[in-house]
A and B are shown apart, each in its own frame.
Chain A
Amino acid sequence: MTTAAAAVATDRPGVDRRERVIRFLAQAAQASHVEVLRWERLSGGAIQENIALDVRVEGGAFAGEHRWVVRTDASSAVSVSHSRPEEFALLAAAHAAGVKVPRPLWLCDDGAGPAFFVMARVPGMTAGHRLVKDDALVPDRALLARELGENLARVHAIAPPRDDLAFLGNVPDDPARERVAAYRANLDALGAAGVNPVLEWGLRWCELHAPAAWPAVLLHRDYRTGNYLVHEGRVAAVLDWEFAGWGDPREDIGWMFARCWRFGRGERVAGGVGTARDFLDGYARVSGHMIDAAATRYWQVMAHIRWAVIALQQAERHRSGAESSLELALTAHIVPELEWEILELTQPA
């Protein structure tokens, strides 16, 4: 791109942003020219958005056509500019560890605008309600479940200390009890909306029944159906790394297995798409660790508590007037079914 791009009228912020991205890419790819074939907003929320970008690159090591995704802070976002660089670092670490993720290409954190990064665009589908129902999308469920287990084991092979992931903060010595304390603090912060005897029962149970801690590793913290791409029946990419942190590896497995993420296919414990056995076999093949039933049950209780806390927080955003939304308001009404599952799981054997 030419320097004339810098003169784009400032009353067209969308165009401005696009010019900034293309100018950066031309430089990063050492290209003589980058032609935009497609620029389309894919999805996004208040915090970040994804843009599909097809380009034809002339010159340099990337000469040719490419399908990329630009992940950027939304134009309206303020002071969240650190999150994109962190996400890029997580993606790079996962990619290097052999996890199926969109290949991260370049990060732009030059301070001239919101940070953004560019990654390969991976074909596939995330929609949980379709993946659990449509056997044409998942012809071999055992294979998919094994691959999900294998991929998670590769995430968990990333262990602290890591200079590139220093932003993840302290490594917990006792991840389970640290979680219990954090969720109690979350409930307390909600005031009257956080008063819930059944969640308290679940938390107390988790406090009393914590299995011996495993050394903390990198957790994805939202590893579930809906957050990975499936292409031709196989795991194509694990997405949504914004909750990643250090913790007990079995926390991720409990989240994946939690009934609330089975999309109505309760009998398929691994995210509604496959069996626990296949998932755990895949996990053990890569990690060397077989996860026992007591630990998966324990971390499923924790998963339901976590989802209930998040649901209460979301409903409170509506109730408090911070963000009036029917969807947020209804979220509170999934809490009783999470309570029901907590009571089921914590029954004496």
Chain B
Amino acid sequence: MKVEPAGAELLRVARASLLESLLPLLPAESHYTARMVANAIAIAARELEQPSTAGAVDAARLAREIREGRHDAGEIAGLLREITRARLAVSNPRLLAPVDKR
């Protein structure tokens, strides 16, 4: 039986503690590392909550077929977009925000 709070929630609160309580106490030269740690925690939390990828595409096969020129017509553009969208949801969800502020 699962014990609450779950992993993702623990990571979220750990990250908030790092940024709100610890970061202000760190010397400036350590801020970059602290922000990298915070970023890593955020990515791990999002990954835990990522929907199961069971039954997802066979990436190796798709990659090989694309290289062989079997998808040149571009019919897979939508599928590729979905693959990257799912990866962005973990790595950098800001890019998926409705207003593109890149």
Contact = CB atoms under 8 A, between A and B. Distances in A.
A218 to B, nearest CB: 31
A45 interface: no
Contact of A343 (B43, B77, B90): B77
A327 B36 contact: yes
Given A198-B83, A339-B84, A333 B74 contact: no
Given A201-B66, A348-B74, A337 B95 contact: yes
A184 B67 contact: yes
Contacts of A327: 36
B91 A196 contact: no
Contacts of B43: 330, 333
Contacts of A329: 40
A64 B54 CA distance: 72
Contact of B88 (A200, A201, A259, A340): A340
A200 B72 CA distance: 11
A174 B95 CA distance: 35
Interface string A195-225: 1111011011000100000000000000000
Contact of B67 (A192, A204, A336, A343): A204
A197 B80 contact: yes
Interface majority SS (helix, strand, loop, mixed), chain A: helix
Given A197-B83, A343-B81, A335 B36 contact: no
B62 interface: yes
B37 interface: yes
Interface residues on A, range: 20 to 34
Interface string A257-273: 00100001010000000
A208 B70 CA distance: 13
Contacts of B71: 201, 204
Given A200-B67, A204-B66, A343-B77, A330 B84 contact: no
A336 B72 contact: no
Given A208-B72, A336-B87, A201 B102 contact: no
B92 interface: yes
Interface in A234-253: none
Contacts of A198: 80, 83-84
A197 B33 contact: no
A196 B59 contact: yes
A238 B91 CA distance: 32
A11 to B, nearest CB: 30
Given A195-B59, A327-B36, A330-B36, A336 B77 contact: no
Contacts of B62: 197, 200
Contacts of A335: 87, 91
Contacts of B25: none
Given A259-B102, A264-B102, A337-B95, A201 B80 contact: yes
8 contacts: A197-B80, A204-B71, A208-B72, A327-B36, A330-B36, A334-B92, A343-B80, A348-B74
Interface of A: 184, 192, 195-198, 200-201, 203-204, 208, 259, 264, 266, 326-327, 329-330, 333-337, 339-340, 343, 347-348
